[in-house]
Amino acid sequence: MKLANYIGGRRVDPVEDQWLDSYNPSTGEVSHQVPSSTAVDVDNAVAAAGSAFPDWAATPAGERAAVLNRIADLLEQKLELFAEAESSDQGKPVSLARGVDIPRACTNFRFFAGAVIHQEDAVHMTEGSALNYTHRKPVGVAGLISPWNLPLYLLTWKIAPALAVGNTAVCKPSELTSLTAYMLTEVFDEAGLPPGVCNMVFGAGPQAGAALVAHPDVPLISFTGGTATATSIIRDSAPYFKKLGLELGGKNANIIFADADLDNCIPTTVRSSFANQGEICLCGSRIFVQRPVYEEFLERFTQAAGELVVGDPKDPDTNLGALVSAAHRDKVESYISLAGREGGTVILGGNRPGVDPDLRGGYYLEPTVITGLTPSCRVMTEEIFGPVVTVTPFDTAQEAVAYANMTRYGLSGTVWTTDLNRGHQVAQAMDAGVIWVNTWLLRDLRTPFGGMKASGVGREGGKHSLDFYTETQNICIKQEPLF
Ligand code: NAD
């Protein structure tokens, strides 16, 4: 099967007729081909989005919201189809796609459909002599670039707010996971989204993605992906003064104090370490445990992690499916080897598990736990983005915070303690954009989401996304005294 680009409401092959093989990570077999789009395809998509922009921007917010709600309804009806496709394209268990990824994609459309019709604007009176009001307008054609780990979930987290406020869009999903984005274009047609409002151009980042970033008629780029890629995006977009939203890598810390409720902490920490094969930017890959409970935590955590089932993503009992690609598994394994050279000990996993014969070409890896490393070493400061965690003891809160902040990343963190005073203070001292206390991945979509330091620039979520996808003008009207 060959996917096609979606430009101006039509499915079109890439102009230069180049294609990329897309693999099913659970078997290692080619499952379909993805257009390897070039600057010409991007240019056509931007032109289509540009032509659709004036009408879509002028469409009342309530009508735009109604289309987004129809998209959510249709996605919900097709949940099973999308969940299976997401799993076969990305390697994650179907149960995870069914329970998290696809429902969240529906929620993204519903959330921003609601948010845009409840938007409020500020008015400021200047001591009776002038009235200032804020006028918002959409930015134009939004360039939306998304990664492979939560393919539909993260792409729709961009599309929904961008379209809700009246922009049109050109999307460039990850070349590794384009399938559900392609299926979404069928939903767009069915929902009555006008042609050209949301276009998809598939292909490689340095080719199709870079052409979108450098396109002069795309004034906004929203990018989620790796920190290294973001440096090219900043550089390539700089001459055009684009609005940039960057959601990047993480190396998130879990700080577990001796008074933590371990019965809650351990199962949640197993999930925060290994959900989606550890390929969630918010996974906690560094676990710091206060010394009095270090041994108990390690034993119980390792036992629970050792019981996780790795294998066929279609099997409802599977906890971890396959990593996204052979190259990515190689990268993760290289860090496991490096851990040995840096003085660490692999106390659980570290190997490719045995799987059914028909899955032997898949990219599976056991949940892996490493101890004995120093917090400043490479394994503990660089993003691995796989089912690999380190566990390290600490004595004081100060020491734990210092360890947590010892990386260039600052996306998220977790604190486990029954002392709420400590929970607040440690959370506030951590250099990360999202901190959970006694939980993980509990998201209220109205809250600001995004990273500090090399984990990103800008915030998404609720009003933050609506602000990012609009331009605001202050209009000041002079008032002459009448009385
Ligand atoms: P990546 O940076 O390799 O690719 C992301 C997207 O950018 C893909 O669509 C890719 O094709 C495109 N791209 C690559 N080079 C480009 C270029 N030069 N110009 C324009 N586009 C380009 O990231 P990935 O490997 O797909 O995703 C994993 C990374 O994403 C991890 O670092 C992870 O932490 C991060 N991530 C962050 C968040 C967050 O919210 N902060 C969420 C999910 C994933």
DSSP string, 19-54: EEEEEETTTTEEEEEEE---HHHHHHHHHHHHHHHH
Give yes or no for residue 153 CB within 6 A of ligand 1.
no
The pLDDT value given to residue 122: 87
Contact 450, 460 (CB under 8 A): yes
Whole-number Å distance between alpha carbons of 47 and 95: 39
What token pair was written down for 142?
Answer: 């939004």
Whole-number Å distance between alpha carbons of 305 and 475: 58
CA of 205 to the centre of ligand 1 (A): 9
Of ligand 1's atoms, which has the minimum distance to the CA of residue 233? 19
The pLDDT value given to residue 253: 98
- Identity at 229, one-letter amino acid code: T
**Alpha carbon nearest to ligand 1 atom 28, residue:** 225
- Segments of the chain with pLDDT less than 50: none
Give yes or no for residue 148 CB within 6 A of ligand 1.
yes
CA of 249 to the centre of ligand 1 (A): 8
- Identity at 388, one-letter amino acid code: V
Whole-number Å distance between alpha carbons of 149 and 92: 9
Would you call 471 a catalytic residue per the annotation? no
State the Cα torsion 149-161-469-121 to the nearest 10°.
-140
Each residue of 129-177: pLDDT tens digit? 999 999 999 999 999 999 999 999 999 999 999 999 999 999 999 999 9
Cβ within 8 Å of residue 125, ≥6 positions away: 131, 132
Whole-number Å distance between alpha carbons of 463 and 455: 21
Contact 190, 184 (CB under 8 A): no
Give yes or no for residue 249 CB within 6 A of ligand 1.
yes
CA of 1 to the centre of ligand 1 (A): 25
Give yes or no for residue 147 CB within 6 A of ligand 1.
yes
Distance of CA 36 to the CA centre of its chain: 23
Under DSSP, is residue 66 helix (H, G, I), strand (E, B) or coil?
A: helix
DSSP conformational letter for 275: G
How many beta carbons lie within 10 A of that of residue 132, not counting itself? 13
Give yes or no for residue 174 CB within 6 A of ligand 1.
yes
How many beta carbons lie within 10 A of that of residue 241, not counting itself? 8
How many beta carbons lie within 10 A of that of residue 427, not counting itself? 19
Question: Best of 38, 89, 145 to mutate for ligand 1, by most ligand atoms within 8 A of CB?
Answer: 145
The answer, as to whether pTM is greater than 0.95, is: yes
Query: Of 84, 247, 279, 383, which residue is the catalytic one?
Result: 247
CA of 225 to the centre of ligand 1 (A): 2
The pLDDT value given to residue 481: 85
Question: Best of 213, 224, 464 to mutate for ligand 1, by most ligand atoms within 8 A of CB?
Answer: 224
Give yes or no for residue 206 CB within 6 A of ligand 1.
yes
CA of 483 to the centre of ligand 1 (A): 61
Give yes or no for residue 451 CB within 6 A of ligand 1.
yes
Burial of 441 per CB tally in 10 Å (0-12, 13-18, 19+): middle
Of ligand 1's atoms, which has the minimum distance to the CA of residue 451? 41
What token pair was written down for 44?
Answer: 């056509």
CA of 307 to the centre of ligand 1 (A): 31
CA of 239 to the centre of ligand 1 (A): 22
Whole-number Å distance between alpha carbons of 221 and 237: 8
> How do beta strands 368-371 and 345-348 pair?
antiparallel
* Residue-wise DSSP of 226-273: -HHHHHHHHHHHGGGT-EEEEE----EEEEE-TTS-HHHHHHHHHHHH
Query: Of 106, 198, 265, 281, which residue is the catalytic one?
Result: 281
* Residue-wise DSSP of 145-168: E--SSSHHHHHHHHHHHHHHTT-E
CA of 456 to the centre of ligand 1 (A): 12
Burial 185-210 (b: 16+ CB within 10 A, else e): bebbeebebebbbbbbbbbbbebbbb
Give yes or no for residue 172 CB within 6 A of ligand 1.
yes
**Alpha carbon nearest to ligand 1 atom 13, residue:** 205
Residue for token digits 């999307």?
171
Domains of the chain: 5-248+455-475 (3.40.605.10), 252-437 (3.40.309.10)
What token pair was written down for 138?
Answer: 């959409």
Burial 266-281 (b: 16+ CB within 10 A, else e): bebbbbbbbbbbbbbb
Each residue of 413-442: pLDDT tens digit? 999 999 999 999 999 999 999 999 999 999
Task: Give just the sign of the alpha carbon dihedral 391, 397, 398, 402.
Answer: positive
Would you call 247 a catalytic residue per the annotation? yes
**Alpha carbon nearest to ligand 1 atom 10, residue:** 205
Distance of CA 407 to the CA centre of its chain: 20
Q: Residue 457 pairs with which residues in a beta bridge?
A: 246
**Alpha carbon nearest to ligand 1 atom 9, residue:** 174
Question: Best of 36, 149, 233 to mutate for ligand 1, by most ligand atoms within 8 A of CB?
Answer: 149
Whole-number Å distance between alpha carbons of 145 and 169: 10
Under DSSP, is residue 300 helix (H, G, I), strand (E, B) or coil?
A: helix
* Cα 435-438-439 angle, rounded to 5 deg: 70
Under DSSP, is residue 90 helix (H, G, I), strand (E, B) or coil?
A: helix
